[in-house]
Structure 1
Amino acid sequence: MLTRTPAEAAAPPAPAAEVSLPEMHRSVRIPDAAGWLRRLLAFVGPGYLVAVGYMDPGNWATALAGGSAFGYTLLAVALLSSLMAMLLQALCARIGIATGRDLAQLCRDRFPRPVNLALWLLAEIAICATDLAELIGTAIALQLLFGIPLLLGVMLTALDALLILWLQHRGVRWLEALVAGLIFLVFGCFAAQLLMAQPDWAAVLGGYVPSASILTDQEQLYIAIGILGATVMPHNLYLHTAVVQSRAYGEGLPAKREAIRFAAIDSTAALSLALLVNSAILITAAAVFHAGGRTEVAEIQEAYELLTPMVGSAVAATLFAIALLACGLNATVTATLAGQVVMEGFLGLRLPPAIRRLITRLVAIVPAVVVTWLHGTSGTAQLLILSQVVLCLQLPFAVVPLMLFASDRTRLGALAAPRWQVVLGWAATVVIVAMNLKLLSDVLAG
């Protein structure tokens, strides 16, 4: 059993009503007498909910811009960003399992009330920005596939709340199955596109080796910062600490250590798949647009329109739009769950899922409808960029508390993160915060 410090022993246990995501808390049974593989499979699922945020529509613009402008050079940045994300998400799983609290609840436990309220407000803003990007991406996909006007598509995306609420009622495994299925659909779409694009695979492998030009070329550096800034999503850090608690692992120290190990394997495997998807977007842009002399393709609609004439097949553009729709639908699931975690964790306030989803969706849909009505497609592109800037601004306020809790041996005891993870985690935090602040300052400077 985990040794408790005197401070922890004196603290009253959390009420059962305060467990994170109570409708799915410890709802997935872990087989006791099963082999290693079956026990691992019982933990597979939360990582895919997290991986969605690493391939949402906000990531597409940076990958398209990087591939079309600089070929395969920025694949090294995509790889580095994903490695940082794998480490941070593994730390999220660790503190969720070790403490039985999610990141928002830990902030409420440890920080003064004014700090807690400020962190809650920033987290809510980030979730609304995330929802905004997903809403716009889904609406664009509906327009490309079915010719639905962008304004109508924006309003139709509100209906996805019904699907999410139904799946939540069915159980966490249904949510995980839907998300994983759509992720593999996206992967399949881009795998087929890569076959049609016929990239230079030797150059692709070379692109994963860091180049000095990334730091010396101002434009490359700017897009590299954008790729990094769009990779680690604030809401994922809150979400992962909660969804790992959906597994009914034991309370003893060996059982928690096993749960931490399996949860890290799950999230790392899922984020590896996300890395392949993001790489495929960038590789497609490099092989089709950069090789074809179109070096300024950054908008999703422009990429869709150019794929057919430049690849020579309408199937490539269709697969591109299908993948975008799947990403948009997928990301709404995680935004809903993250919103619930943040509100319940920071405030201890519980709302019915339907009300919570309605509030989040309305906050995101109002500016999207107004901008689409006034400015059309160009306006939504700018709104998509703005959503990523908002996420950049909020990110430090999620990453820094995560690292403080993950390295707190007083609270985690024997389950605290090993020193090498703490050192690498703080190094990644410094890089991510510095890069995001640089991106934000550049955007504000025009």
Structure 2
Amino acid sequence: MEHSSLRKRLKEKWKEIGPGAIIAASFIGPGTISTATEAGASFGYSLIWAIIFSVVTTMFLQEMASRLGIITGSGLGEAIRGQFERPVFKYGAVVLIGLSIGVGCAAYMAGDLTGGALGVSLMTGIPQNFIAPIIGVIILILGLTGTYKRFEKILIALVLVMSLTFITTMVIVQPSVGKVLTGAFIPTVPDGSIVVIVALIGTTVVPYNLFMHAASAQERWKNPADIKKARTDILITIGVGGLITAAVIITAGTIIRGTDAAGVEALALALEPVLGKWASGFISIGMLAAGLSSAMASPLGAAYTIGGLTKWGTGFENWRFKLIFSIVIGIGIITSAIGFEPMQLILAAQALNGLILPIIAIFLLIVVNNKNAMGKYVNSFKLNMIGGIIVLVASGLGIYSLVDAISAFIGG
């Protein structure tokens, strides 16, 4: 009887999984896996705390965005437009946010597709610039013929695949539990680690995910009573997303810490004594899933953001929404096919996104405190305090990212 009751409760919780999985799938891309591998290889377990901080920050911001979508029945883009009466401010915000996120998503597409192709390339030896466009075309077809529900199911499946591969690998390499806990709960900033810390946080707390979550939450849930379900979804899925990233850091910190090896290829090679012939397969499947998930989410995020800001619409049935999706994925297909590495564009996009995050977080705080729109579901004082701290930290990271991008641009 108890077993049957537990199974029923687990089944009910599983039904609540949805928009949060899209967000988790979005931030666990090839860039995150590569950054986490570098963090573990260079600094062992000492930067796990940065992932915990990033995940907690993401949970708070995404909860506000999903609550906004459920209560108002509209997305964050529409809510931001509604805050301004003067056209100069309204359209200024639309252009600034839309352009920065649109450019960012387009710039990252080549990396997402190439990163996913690396997974296939490791197993087959076929060059990445042959595989990446094929992955892009498959995603484009899914976007043009698919529905929100289909995308949600695919991204949930990809998060499960990444969980099985990366978390299983972490367990197999048998890390030091005591050292892992120390790295998780005693923050340290080793020499030379600040760039990696900023990268870990920047790949987890993603601006366009706020627009995507508000829109997808209001597609999934219509009743204020569903806020509890949305919170459960966020806790489980984003928590699992953070665990996947931490698992990569821990695995790299266990087997390639202090070596000259770097990158996921080195990680796969180092796993061979432990996993044998399965080593390359584990990492390949994980990278393919990471590339697919992020490559599906990036154009989706751009479409939700721009569609909401311009009032063009944010549903799969809307042709303008699909047009934005197609343009972003099309850029990724072309750039990955010709082997173009848009590093200067990516640096600019990173700087723009770093600067735009605190601005969007401020807008989010404003709209979730609007009693006319949110009623009794406005932010509590405690949530506003946490939101304020997040804005301050995000502002510091944004300034650092801008300075770093300018230095890299001048140096390059």
Same fold at TM > 0.5: yes
* 2:101 corresponding residue in structure 1: 123
CA gap of 1:37–1:274, structure 2 versus 1, over 3 A, is closer
How far apart are residue 416 of structure 1 and its match?
A: 0.3
Distance in 2 of aligned mates of 1:439 and 1:354:
31
Moved more, 67-76 or 329-338: 329-338
- The answer to whether residue 324 in structure 2 is matched with residue 356 in structure 1 is yes
Distance in 1 of aligned mates of 2:238 and 2:388:
20
Q: 2:279 aligns with which of 316, 325, 329?
A: 316
Instruction: List per-residue Cα deviations over 1:172-223 (Å, max 9, x = no partner).
Output: 3333222112211111111331233221122111111223x41xx4412222
Distance in 2 of aligned mates of 1:282 and 1:402:
31
Distance in 2 of aligned mates of 1:385 and 1:314:
37
User: Quick one: which amino acid aligns to residue 278 of structure 1?
Assistant: T
Q: 1:113 aligns with which of 67, 72, 91?
A: 91
CA gap of 1:109–1:384, structure 2 versus 1, over 3 A, is closer
How far apart are residue 319 of structure 1 and its match?
A: 0.5
- The answer to whether residue 203 in structure 2 is matched with residue 230 in structure 1 is yes
How far apart are residue 142 of structure 1 and its match?
A: 2.4
* 1:300 corresponding residue in structure 2: 264
* 1:264 corresponding residue in structure 2: 231
Distance in 1 of aligned mates of 2:192 and 2:22:
33
Distance in 1 of aligned mates of 2:107 and 2:207:
11
With normalisation by structure 1, the TM-score equals 0.80
How far apart are residue 388 of structure 1 and its match?
A: 4.4
* 2:122 corresponding residue in structure 1: 144
- The answer to whether residue 397 in structure 2 is matched with residue 419 in structure 1 is no
How far apart are residue 358 of structure 1 and its match?
A: 2.3
Check conservation: 1:368, 1:383, Cα contact below 8 A: no
Check conservation: 2:70, 2:221, Cα contact below 8 A: no
CA gap of 1:218–1:321, structure 2 versus 1, over 3 A, is same
* 1:20 corresponding residue in structure 2: none
How far apart are residue 139 of structure 1 and its match?
A: 2.2
Check conservation: 2:207, 2:357, Cα contact below 8 A: yes
* 1:432 corresponding residue in structure 2: 394
Distance in 1 of aligned mates of 2:124 and 2:77:
40
- The answer to whether residue 301 in structure 2 is matched with residue 338 in structure 1 is yes
CA gap of 1:356–1:182, structure 2 versus 1, over 3 A, is same
Q: 2:252 aligns with which of 285, 294, 309?
A: 285
Check conservation: 1:92, 1:402, Cα contact below 8 A: yes
Distance in 2 of aligned mates of 1:295 and 1:403:
44
CA gap of 1:306–1:248, structure 2 versus 1, over 3 A, is closer
The count of corresponding residues between Structure 1 and Structure 2 is 391
How far apart are residue 410 of structure 1 and its match?
A: 4.3
Q: 1:160 aligns with which of 138, 145, 166?
A: 138
Check conservation: 1:167, 1:175, Cα contact below 8 A: no
Check conservation: 1:134, 1:331, Cα contact below 8 A: yes
Distance in 2 of aligned mates of 1:128 and 1:419:
37
CA gap of 1:120–1:382, structure 2 versus 1, over 3 A, is closer
Distance in 1 of aligned mates of 2:27 and 2:169:
20
Q: 2:367 aligns with which of 405, 421, 440?
A: 405
**RMSD between aligned residues:** 2.7
Q: Identity of aligned pairs, percent?
A: 22
User: Quick one: which amino acid aligns to residue 226 of structure 2?
Assistant: A
Three-state SS of the structure 2 residue aligned to 1:294 is coil
* 1:30 corresponding residue in structure 2: none
1:199-218 aligned within 5 A: 199-211=175-187, 213-214=188-189, 217-218=190-191
User: Quick one: which amino acid aligns to residue 270 of structure 1?
Assistant: T
Q: 2:151 aligns with which of 139, 152, 175?
A: 175
In structure 1, the gaps of 5 or more residues are 1-34, 251-255, 374-378
CA gap of 1:382–1:219, structure 2 versus 1, over 3 A, is farther
How far apart are residue 393 of structure 1 and its match?
A: 4.0
Q: 1:191 aligns with which of 132, 149, 167?
A: 167
Three-state SS of the structure 1 residue aligned to 2:78 is helix
CA gap of 1:103–1:140, structure 2 versus 1, over 3 A, is same
CA gap of 1:248–1:74, structure 2 versus 1, over 3 A, is closer
CA gap of 1:39–1:418, structure 2 versus 1, over 3 A, is farther
* 1:100 corresponding residue in structure 2: 73
Moved more, 425-434 or 345-354: 345-354
In structure 2, the gaps of 5 or more residues are 1-7, 85-89, 313-317
How far apart are residue 102 of structure 1 and its match?
A: 0.4
CA gap of 1:386–1:326, structure 2 versus 1, over 3 A, is farther
Check conservation: 1:93, 1:263, Cα contact below 8 A: yes
Instruction: List per-residue Cα deviations over 1:222-253 (Å, max 9, x = no partner).
Output: 22122111111111110000011123534xxx
How far apart are residue 269 of structure 1 and its match?
A: 0.9
User: Quick one: which amino acid aligns to residue 125 of structure 2?
Assistant: G
1:48-59 aligned within 5 A: 48-59=21-32
* 1:15 corresponding residue in structure 2: none
User: Quick one: which amino acid aligns to residue 304 of structure 1?
Assistant: A
